[in-house]
């Protein structure tokens, strides 16, 4: 049986002050195993992105614990959370967030923790169809190409956990499939754990577990045999 890499206990997050308060996360409890591919779904405003930010250490919950094995990141100092995130967590955003003055290869290099990993960038660019674009700035790349660069930037440091917040939300269907293939390939080749939020009703099919969130609570958990991107009728 897989060992949990993340354990969430009694998690609560509230926004606002005084009489104007909104509880975005309501006493959540769940575990995520190593090499899980978790897809979180739910309506806008259900708390998915807030939960991702807490799981990645970008935000702190008001109550509860977020344990990565023996480390409770919810009770680390800001500096130590940043250090933990740098060493253990990759984050892929919907809006790419590439540095506009750096080339594709240079943007990927931003994610490197160990200098020896710089030598892997040319092979990654070739493998994922970006070799001829490596010297281009983000403004010279399509949306799908920019997102692939963003993913490789997150993956170059070999994170234990990859967190993806609507990674295909700004892409057309063809680009979305190409981006998902990159993520799926890395997941199959490593013991990396993936947590992804999406509004697309097809993407959950590639996960081994679907977590449905509504009003800050987990409403349903579905265990399934994941499909390959190419097997899905898009």
pTM (two decimals): 0.92
Alpha-carbon span 215 to 132, nearest angstrom: 45
Locate 78 and state its tokens.
């800001």
Q: Say what the pLDDT of residue 2 is.
A: 66
Alpha carbon of 198 to those of 2, 152, 178: distances in Å? 25, 19, 16
Residue from 49, 69, 68, 61 nearest 10 by CA:
61
* CATH class assigned to 34-63+75-231: alpha beta
In this prediction, residue 1 carries a pLDDT of 53
CA distances from 191 to 47, 86, 135, 187, 220 (A): 27, 18, 31, 7, 25
Would you write out the chain's pLDDT as a tens digit for each of its 234 residues? 567 999 999 999 999 877 788 899 999 999 999 999 999 999 988 999 999 999 999 999 999 999 999 899 999 999 999 999 999 999 998 888 899 999 999 999 999 988 888 999 998 899 888 999 999 999 999 999 999 999 999 999 889 999 999 998 888 888 899 889 989 999 999 999 999 999 999 999 999 999 999 999 999 999 999 999 999 988
Whole-number pLDDT of residue 127: 86
pLDDT of the residue at 21 = 84
Indicate the domain borders of the chain: 34-63+75-231
């Amino acid at each position: 049986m897989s060992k949990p890499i993340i354990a969430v206990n009694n998690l609560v997050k509230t926004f606002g002050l005084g009489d104007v308060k909104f509880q975005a996360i309501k006493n959540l409890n769940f575990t995520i195993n190593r090499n899980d591919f978790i897809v979180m779904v739910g309506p806008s405003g259900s708390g998915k992105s807030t939960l991702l930010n807490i799981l990645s250490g970008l935000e702190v919950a008001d109550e509860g614990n977020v344990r990565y094995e023996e480390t409770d990141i919810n009770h680390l100092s800001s500096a130590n959370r940043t250090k933990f995130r740098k060493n253990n967590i990759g984050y892929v955003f919907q809006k790419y967030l590439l540095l506009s003055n750096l080339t594709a290869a240079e943007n990927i290099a931003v994610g490197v923790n160990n200098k020896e990993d710089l030598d892997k960038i040319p092979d990654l660019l070739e493998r994922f169809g970006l070799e001829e674009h490596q010297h281009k700035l983000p403004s010279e790349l399509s949306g799908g190409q920019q997102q692939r660069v963003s993913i490789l930037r997150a993956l170059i440091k070999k994170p234990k956990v990859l967190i993806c917040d609507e990674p295909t939300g700004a892409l057309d269907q063809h680009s979305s499939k190409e981006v998902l293939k990159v993520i799926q390939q890395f997941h199959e080749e490593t013991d990396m754990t993936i947590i992804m939020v999406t509004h697309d009703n097809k993407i959950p099919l590639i996960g081994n577990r679907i977590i449905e969130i509504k009003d800050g609570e987990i409403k349903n958990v579905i265990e399934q045999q994941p499909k390959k991107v190419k097997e899905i009728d898009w």
